[in-house]
A and B are shown apart, each in its own frame.
Chain A
């Protein structure tokens, strides 16, 4: 069970690093955009795209943070079952594997969903009017 505790600690560390990346990249971009606004600098397509990367990075990282939290919850449930009843733990490990697979698939789906035009190179660049 020490292995599971280490995994839990590692996941917490990864989550903390991701939260820092979200915060720092957001602060960095806000400082740059504030400078551009103050100096009334017109932005072109490349700069506008670059500015929007941060939004996409944040959404991607938040999706993986959700996956990490879901994995930690499953690991903790298994760990608790193992400590209280070894027989129950045998059943729980199959459920744990299933839950982790679902969580991974959900995270992969969100990676695609939250990538906008980056995920779909064929995505039409035109604005779609209904």
Chain B
């Protein structure tokens, strides 16, 4: 099964995404700290899709994305930003860093499922 990792400093946000994705044919790993997820990726974890929050303490979503792009295994891994931020300039910044897409919170469960299905090319 494809591995999808979620990174969000909010436990409640992670619980919401977990409940939405638990019926999907994917393996899910969740992290409240981006630097921990990045360390595991550097140690050999190879996610098929990464969904991350932007505003997080210690390492924010953009810093995490930059780190991902420096690791050969995740240089091109599809990555979605799941955030409350809606500013076009932030979206542009994400796009320039190689972000795959932008999802504004609160997310719609059906649309989140569709996005994961589309990016991972899962059977609809």
Contact = CB atoms under 8 A, between A and B. Distances in A.
Given A45-B110, A53-B106, A33 B15 contact: yes
B35 interface: no
Contacts of A48: 16, 19-20, 106-109
Interface residues of A, number: 37
A86 interface: no
Contacts of B114: 127
A85 interface: no
Nearest to B118: A129
B85 to A, nearest CB: 6
Please indicate which of the listed interface residues B13, B80, B87, B100 has the most CB atoms of chain A within 10 Å of its own CB: B13
B110 to A, nearest CB: 7
B43 to A, nearest CB: 28
Interface in B49-63: 55
Interface stretch (A12-20, A87-95, A114-122): A114-122
A120 B102 CA distance: 15
Given A117-B105, A127-B102, A51 B84 contact: no
Nearest to A49: B106
> Which has the most chain A C-beta neighbours within 10 Å: B13, B16, B99?
B16
A108 interface: no
A130 B112 CA distance: 16
Q: Is the interface of B mostly helix, strand, loop or mixed?
A: mixed
Q: How large is the interface on B (under 10, 10 to 19, 20 to 34, 35 or more residues)?
A: 35 or more
B101 A128 contact: yes
B16 to A, nearest CB: 4
Contacts of B22: 37, 40
Given A37-B18, A44-B109, A117 B95 contact: no
Interface of A: 26, 29-30, 33-34, 36-37, 40-45, 48-49, 51-56, 58-59, 113-117, 119-120, 123, 125-130
26 contacts: A26-B11, A29-B12, A33-B12, A33-B16, A37-B18, A37-B19, A43-B109, A48-B19, A51-B16, A51-B19, A52-B12, A52-B105, A53-B106, A56-B105, A56-B106, A58-B12, A113-B86, A116-B105, A117-B106, A125-B111, A126-B111, A127-B102, A127-B114, A129-B115, A130-B100, A130-B101
